[in-house]
């Protein structure tokens, strides 16, 4: 497994005409900012080759009208926003990763994590490869360029490379003359594409980014599919190593924006359904239902409707803070929790409150939020979680790479309830997860049940 486990956002564009594309990518990355707030980057393929700018910070901090203009004109561009879920949060690990080789030059954007990344890195290093980053994107780029050096076309090189990769990888690959989008054979991470009125093809991690730039959604890229956008239009290829699709259920529970649709299922509707299922599995007497922003809001609406308990706005969120559970430093997480949420006292004072949240990872966030509600006068606090307890690490791109820091792995639900200071605690059951989609959809829920769809590294 690679040293960095990250949840990221990808955006790419192929244009029939030469123009300034960086502002379009910038707008798309803004729509995907929830997927990565540590670093970002944009690459543009123009007459002078591939021009790249990337740095630490939010999209609006890294890019100004001047820096966007300096990226120049072209027909192809790609961008990336990143969460660095380790202390290796430096500029070199920001993406796109630019790889220059006589056989082919490309800029790679990656979302996910390779379970055989360390193995592939060792093989390449033993063959004299020199790595400059800890990113899986660089590993993938090296494998592609080596196939190109052996005389394979770019499409063949990408297909052969994907056959050697195991784990989660949604990719946007920018070459001098084409844009290639790839989704791993299990479809762990989302990827879709659309088209603008002017005929520009847009590829993005989520459909909300297509909406942002005025593109009409065409379809999701299928698991195991390689889609090429070039002079001759759109071409689709598939890896020979096909497997059953198993997208990450946590995309619907937490990561994705509620206005996105992934693989035909609306994220908002999945969260509302989670709330309804929670109300059936863990009913309680209460006066008001509130949701922890942002992913708990829709679930709270669903719980309220099913339980026939009034819904109320329980928190005002400072939207300029990061997502606390992904922050790598404990002290930083605690500081963010203190400033990101402010309870609405009028909603909770003197009342029995049902608080809906998406997960409990380490427990510190939940304990702090519950304490805020107590300080605001809540009489009882009944916590309901729209996911099952996290008891296994994730190897597919989420910052949960060890059982050691998973509080539910070390404590019973009753003990958890006492630790976070709730009056009662209920989690959505594993068996209910497929019902979020209205059918028995095949999903990856390995972080809840340990049923990994691929081989895994040695568990810590």
pLDDT tens digits for range 142-166:
999 999 999 999 999 999 999 999 9
Instruction: Tell me, yes or no, whether 233 and 361 share the same domain.
Output: no
- What is d(CA 137, CA 106) in angstroms, rounded to the nearest whole number? 11
Instruction: Tell me, yes or no, whether 138 and 35 share the same domain.
Output: yes
Q: Which of 128-137, 236-245, 329-338 has the lowest mean pLDDT?
A: 329-338
Of residues 325 and 314, the one with the higher pLDDT is: 314
The answer to whether residue 25 is domain-embedded is: yes
Instruction: Tell me, yes or no, whether 216 and 357 share the same domain.
Output: no
Sign of the torsion formed by the C-alpha atoms of 366, 29, 191 and 394? negative
Q: Which of 244, 262, 295 is the last residue before a domain boundary?
A: 244
* Residue 86 reports pLDDT greater than 70: no
Instruction: Tell me, yes or no, whether 52 and 32 share the same domain.
Output: yes
- Active-site residue (options: 8, 192, 394, 444): 8
444 labelled catalytic: no
* Residue 82 reports pLDDT greater than 90: yes
What mean pLDDT do residues 167-190 have? Answer: 97
In this prediction, residue 45 has a pLDDT band, given cuts at 50, 70 and 90, of: very high
Instruction: Tell me, yes or no, whether 233 and 260 share the same domain.
Output: no
What mean pLDDT do residues 211-240 have? Answer: 95
Q: Which of 244, 270, 298 is the last residue before a domain boundary?
A: 244
Q: Which are the contacts of 459, defined by CB distance < 8 A and separation ≥ 6?
A: 392, 393, 403
| Token output for 418 | 């006492």
pLDDT digit string (tens) for 186-213? Answer: 999 999 999 999 999 999 999 999 999 9
For residue 243, the cross-strand partners are: none
Pairing relationship of beta strands 380-385 and 424-427 according to DSSP bridges: parallel
The answer to whether residue 459 is domain-embedded is: no
| Token output for 302 | 């669903």
Q: What's the pLDDT at 325?
A: 45
Mean pLDDT, rounded, of the chain: 91
Instruction: Tell me, yes or no, whether 167 and 91 share the same domain.
Output: yes
What mean pLDDT do residues 38-43 have? Answer: 96
Instruction: Tell me, yes or no, whether 136 and 87 share the same domain.
Output: yes
What mean pLDDT do residues 67-85 have? Answer: 93
Q: Which of 189, 212, 244 is the last residue before a domain boundary?
A: 244
* Domain total in the chain: 2
What mean pLDDT do residues 221-243 have? Answer: 91
Instruction: Tell me, yes or no, whether 176 and 266 share the same domain.
Output: no
Instruction: Tell me, yes or no, whether 231 and 310 share the same domain.
Output: no
The answer to whether residue 311 is domain-embedded is: yes
Q: What's the pLDDT at 3?
A: 31
* Torsion of the alpha carbons at 418, 422, 425 and 427, rounded to the nearest 10: -100
In terms of average pLDDT, the best of 86-100, 156-170, 401-415 is 156-170
pTM across the whole model = 0.92
Instruction: Tell me, yes or no, whether 118 and 211 share the same domain.
Output: yes
Instruction: Tell me, yes or no, whether 153 and 236 share the same domain.
Output: yes
Instruction: Tell me, yes or no, whether 17 and 83 share the same domain.
Output: yes
The answer to whether residue 457 is domain-embedded is: no
Q: Angle 157-158-162 (CA atoms, 0-180°, nearest 5)? A: 120
Query: What is the H or E stretch that residue 368 is in?
Result: helix 364-375
The answer to whether residue 2 is domain-embedded is: no
Q: What's the pLDDT at 239?
A: 79
Whether the Cβ atoms of residue 353 and residue 288 lie closer than 8 Å to each other:
yes
Q: What's the pLDDT at 298?
A: 98
Domain span at 277: 251-449
The answer to whether residue 277 is domain-embedded is: yes
Q: Is 400 left (phi over 0), alpha (psi -120 to 50) or beta?
A: beta
pLDDT digit string (tens) for 280-308? Answer: 999 999 999 999 998 999 999 999 999 99
């Amino acid at each position: 497994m690679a040293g960095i486990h990250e949840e990221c956002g990808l955006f790419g564009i192929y244009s029939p005409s030469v123009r300034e594309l960086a502002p379009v990518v910038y707008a798309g990355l803004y729509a995907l900012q929830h997927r990565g707030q540590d670093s970002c980057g944009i690459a543009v393929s123009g007459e002078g080759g591939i021009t790249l700018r990337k740095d630490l910070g939010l999209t609006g901090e890294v890019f100004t009208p001047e820096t966007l203009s300096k990226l120049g004109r072209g027909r192809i561009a790609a961008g990336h926003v990143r969460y660095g879920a380790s202390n290796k949060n430096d500029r070199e690990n920001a993406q796109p990763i630019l790889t220059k080789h006589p056989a082919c030059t490309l800029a790679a954007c990656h979302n996910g994590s390779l379970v055989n990344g360390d193995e592939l890195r060792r093989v390449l290093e033993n063959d004299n490869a020199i790595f400059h980053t800890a990113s899986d994107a660089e590993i993938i780029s090296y494998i592609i360029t080596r196939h190109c050096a052996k005389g394979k076309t770019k499409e063949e090189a990408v297909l052969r490379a994907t056959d050697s990769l195991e784990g989660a990888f949604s990719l946007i690959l920018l070459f001098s003359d084409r844009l290639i989008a790839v989704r791993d054979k299990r479809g762990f991470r989302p990827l879709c594409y659309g088209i603008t009125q002017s005929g520009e093809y847009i590829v993005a991690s989520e459909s909300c980014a297509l909406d942002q730039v005025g593109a009409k959604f065409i379809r999701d890229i299928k698991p195991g599919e390689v889609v090429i956008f070039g002079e001759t239009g759109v071409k689709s290829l598939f890896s020979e190593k096909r497997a059953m699709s198993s997208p990450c259920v946590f995309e619907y529970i937490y990561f994705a924006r509620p206005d996105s649709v992934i693989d035909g299922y609306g994220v908002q509707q999945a969260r509302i359904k989670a709330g309804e299922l929670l109300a059936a599995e863990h009913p309680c007497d209460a006066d008001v239902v509130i949701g922890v922003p942002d992913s708990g809001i829709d679930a709270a609406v669903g719980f309220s409707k099913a339980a026939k308990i009034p819904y109320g706005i329980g928190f005002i969120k400072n939207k300029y803070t990061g997502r606390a559970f992904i922050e790598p430093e404990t002290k930083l997480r605690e500081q963010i929790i203190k400033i990101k949420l402010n309870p609405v006292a009028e909603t909770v004072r003197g009342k029995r409150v049902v608080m809906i949240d998406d997960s409990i990872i380490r427990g510190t966030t939940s304990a702090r939020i519950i304490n805020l509600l107590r300080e605001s006068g809540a009489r009882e606090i009944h916590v309901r979680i729209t996911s099952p307890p996290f008891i296994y690490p994730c190897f597919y791109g989420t910052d949960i790479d060890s059982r050691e820091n998973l509080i539910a792995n070390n404590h019973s639900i009753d003990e958890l309830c006492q630790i976070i200071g709730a009056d009662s605690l209920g989690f959505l059951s594993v068996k209910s997860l497929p019902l979020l989609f209205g059918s028995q959809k095949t999903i990856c829920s390995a972080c809840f049940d340990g049923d990994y769809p691929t081989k895994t590294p040695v568990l810590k």
